C-alpha cells in the first residue's frame, strides 16, 4: 500500500497541482461561476412556468386543495407563458453570450489586462460570428431580429474558445506596443477607448475573416465548424464511463490533499450545464427532458462533498471513537450542503490508506447509478441550474422538480454508508486504540 501511494503521489500530485494552476482552466472555472447567479434566477422562472402537474392525466374535477392549486397555477402559467419565460430567455437562454464575456474577463484579469474591455470585445465578436440579422414578419411589415441558436447553451463551447482566442489576440497586439500615449491630464477612460480600437479591429479582422472563409469554402459558419470538430470530443465527455472516470480522478487528487473538485470543475460543469440547458430547452417547448448528462450528475457525486461522505458521517455519529463522533457533529451541516473539508482533513481522509477505496470510488458509483436512474425513468433528468452549497435535498427537488430524485439521493446516501461501513469499522478500531494510547500517555505524564 505504501509503495502504491508513493507511486500515485509521485505522478498524480504534480499533475493535479499543474492542472489546478493552469491559467486557462482557472479562467474557465471562474468564468462559468460568474454566470451562475443569472442561471439560477432564470431557472426560478422556469419553475414558475412549469408546476409539477400533468394536465393530461389529472382529474380536473378533483376536490384536493393542493391539486386544485397546481391546476390553477398551470392554467395561469399557460396563459402568461410569454411574459413568465422572458426572464428565462434573457438569462439561461443567453448562456453562450454570457460565457463569452465571463471567460474572457477572467482570463484577461489573470493576465492583468483590462478585463472589462476584453470581455466586451469578446462578446461583440461572439455576436458577430454566432448570430445574424434576419427579417421577421410582423403583421404586414417586417422587423430586423437576430438569430439566437448559438447565443444559448448550444454556443457555450464556441464562447469558451472565442473567450480564450480574443484575449490571446488582444495580448499579442499589446505586445506589439502599438499604443497612443496620452498626457496624465487626459482621463484614463479616453486612453482606454483609443487603445482598444486596434485590438478590437484585429479581433474582428481575424475571427470574422475566418468565419467568412469557412462559409465560402465549407458552407459552415465559425460556430457550426467548431461544433462539428468538437462533436467527437463532446460525445466522449458525455459518456458516463468517461465522466465517472473524471470524478474518480478528482477524488484521487483529494486523497493526496489537492482540491480535485477545482481541477475537474470546469470540465464536469461545462458538460453538465450543456445537458441541463438542452433539457431546459425541451421543457420550455413543452417536451419531456431526456438528457441524463446534466448538472444533477455532479450533485450525486457530492453527497456530503468530495468522497460522497454523507453516509460516512452518519456512521461516525454513533462511533466508539470520541474524535470521529465529534467530527460527525461538526460536519453534518456542511456535509448536507456538500462541503467536506472537515471530514477530508479532520478524519483525515487524505493519505488514509484504510479509507482510500470507498473515498475514491463511492462518488463514481453514485454518478453511474444516477445516470441510469434518469435513463430508466426512475427520476426526471435535471433541467434547472440549482444554486450551489444549499442542502442536497433542495437541490434534488429543484433540479427536475421531482421528489423522486430526493428519495433517490437518500438511497445513494444509504448505499454510501454500506460501502464505507467495513472500512470505517477497521479505521474506527485504529482510532479508538490511538485515543486509549493518548489517554495513557497523558496519565503517565501527569504522574
- Mean pLDDT of successive 10-residue segments in the chain (447 residues)? 61 61 78 78 79 70 78 86 86 86 92 90 91 80 80 82 92 83 72 82 92 89 81 65 87 75 74 83 84 88 86 88 84 80 76 82 93 92 76 83 90 93 84 75 53
pLDDT confidence of residue 8: 57
> CA-CA distance, 425 to 20, in Å (whole number)?
34
Q: 3-state SS string over the chain?
A: CHHHHHHHHHHHHHHHHHHHCCHHHHHHHHHHHHHHHHHHHHHHHHHHHCCCCCCCCCCCCCCCHHHHHHHHHHHHHHHCHHHHCHHHHCCHHHHHHHHHHHHHHHHHHHCCCCHHHHHHHHHHHHHHHHCCEEEEEECCEEEEEECCHHHCHHHHHHHHHHHHHHHHHHHHHHHHCCCCCCCCCCCHHHHHHHHHHHHHHHHHHHHHHHHHHHHHHHCCCHHHHHHHHHHHHHHHHCCHHHHHHHHHHHHHHHHCCCCHHHHHHHHHHHHHHHHHHHHHHHHHCCCCCCCCCCHHHHHHHCCCCCCCCHHHHHHHHCCCCHHHHHHHHHHHHHHHCCCCHHHHHHCCCCCCCCCHHHHHHHHHHHHHHHHHHHHCCCCCCCCCCCCCCCCHHHHHHHHHCCHHHHHHHHHHHHHHHHHHHHHHHHHHHHHHHHHHHHHHHHHHHHC
Provide the pLDDT for residue 9: 59
In whole angstroms, give the CA distance from residue 285 to residue 242: 30
Q: What does the chain come to in residues?
A: 447
φ, ψ (nearest 5 deg) of residue 133:
-90, 130
Which pLDDT score is estimated for 447?
A: 47
Q: What are phi and psi of 154, to 5 degrees?
A: -60, -30
Q: What confidence score (pLDDT) does residue 256 get? A: 72
* Residue 262 confidence (pLDDT): 67
Instruction: Tell me the whole-structure pTM to 2 decimals.
Output: 0.68
- Determine the pLDDT at residue 164: 92
Amino acid at each position: 500500500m505504501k509503495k502504491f501511494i508513493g507511486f500515485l503521489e509521485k505522478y498524480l500530485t504534480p499533475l493535479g497541482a499543474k492542472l489546478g494552476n493552469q491559467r486557462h482552466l482557472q479562467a474557465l472555472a471562474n468564468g462559468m461561476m460568474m454566470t451562475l447567479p443569472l442561471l439560477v434566477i432564470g431557472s426560478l422562472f422556469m419553475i414558475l412556468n412549469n408546476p409539477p402537474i400533468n394536465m393530461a392525466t389529472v382529474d380536473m374535477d378533483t376536490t384536493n386543495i393542493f391539486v386544485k392549486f397546481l391546476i390553477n397555477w398551470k392554467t395561469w402559467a399557460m396563459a402568461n407563458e410569454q411574459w413568465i419565460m422572458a426572464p428565462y430567455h434573457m438569462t439561461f437562454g443567453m448562456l453562450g453570450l454570457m460565457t463569452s464575456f465571463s471567460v474572457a474577463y477572467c482570463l484577461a484579469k489573470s493576465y492583468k489586462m483590462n478585463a472589462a474591455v476584453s470581455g466586451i470585445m469578446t462578446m461583440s465578436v461572439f455576436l458577430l460570428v454566432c448570430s445574424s440579422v434576419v427579417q421577421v414578419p410582423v403583421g404586414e411589415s417586417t422587423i430586423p431580429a437576430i438569430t439566437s441558436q448559438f447565443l444559448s447553451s448550444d454556443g457555450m463551447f464556441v464562447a469558451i474558445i472565442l473567450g480564450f482566442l480574443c484575449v490571446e489576440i488582444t495580448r499579442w497586439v499589446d505586445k506589439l506596443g502599438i499604443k497612443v500615449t496620452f498626457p496624465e491630464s487626459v482621463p484614463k477612460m479616453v486612453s482606454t477607448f483609443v487603445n482598444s480600437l486596434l485590438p478590437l479591429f484585429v479581433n474582428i479582422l481575424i475571427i470574422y475573416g475566418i468565419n467568412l472563409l469557412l462559409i465560402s469554402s465549407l458552407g459552415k459558419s465559425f460556430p457550426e465548424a467548431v461544433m462539428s470538430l468538437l462533436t467527437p470530443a463532446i460525445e466522449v465527455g458525455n459518456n458516463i464511463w468517461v465522466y465517472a472516470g473524471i470524478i474518480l480522478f478528482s477524488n484521487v487528487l483529494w486523497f493526496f490533499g489537492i482540491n480535485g473538485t477545482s481541477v475537474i470543475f470546469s470540465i464536469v460543469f461545462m458538460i453538465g450545464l450543456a445537458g441541463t440547458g438542452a433539457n431546459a430547452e425541451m421543457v420550455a417547448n413543452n417536451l419531456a427532458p431526456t438528457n441524463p448528462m446534466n448538472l444533477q450528475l455532479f450533485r450525486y457525486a457530492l453527497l456530503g462533498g468530495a468522497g460522497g461522505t454523507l453516509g460516512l458521517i452518519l456512521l461516525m455519529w454513533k462511533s466508539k471513537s470520541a474524535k470521529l463522533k465529534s467530527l460527525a457533529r461538526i460536519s453534518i451541516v456542511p456535509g448536507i450542503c456538500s462541503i467536506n473539508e472537515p471530514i477530508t482533513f479532520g478524519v483525515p481522509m487524505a493519505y488514509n490508506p484504510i479509507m482510500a477505496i470507498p473515498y475514491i470510488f463511492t462518488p463514481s458509483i453514485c454518478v453511474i447509478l444516477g445516470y441510469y436512474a434518469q435513463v430508466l425513468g426512475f427520476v426526471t433528468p435535471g433541467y434547472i441550474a440549482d444554486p450551489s452549497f444549499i442542502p442536497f435535498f433542495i437541490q434534488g427537488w429543484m433540479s427536475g422538480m421531482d421528489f423522486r430524485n430526493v428519495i433517490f439521493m437518500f438511497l445513494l446516501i444509504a448505499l454510501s454508508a454500506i460501502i464505507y461501513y467495513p472500512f470505517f469499522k477497521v479505521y474506527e478500531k485504529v482510532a479508538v486504540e490511538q485515543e486509549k494510547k493518548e489517554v495513557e500517555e497523558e496519565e503517565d505524564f501527569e504522574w
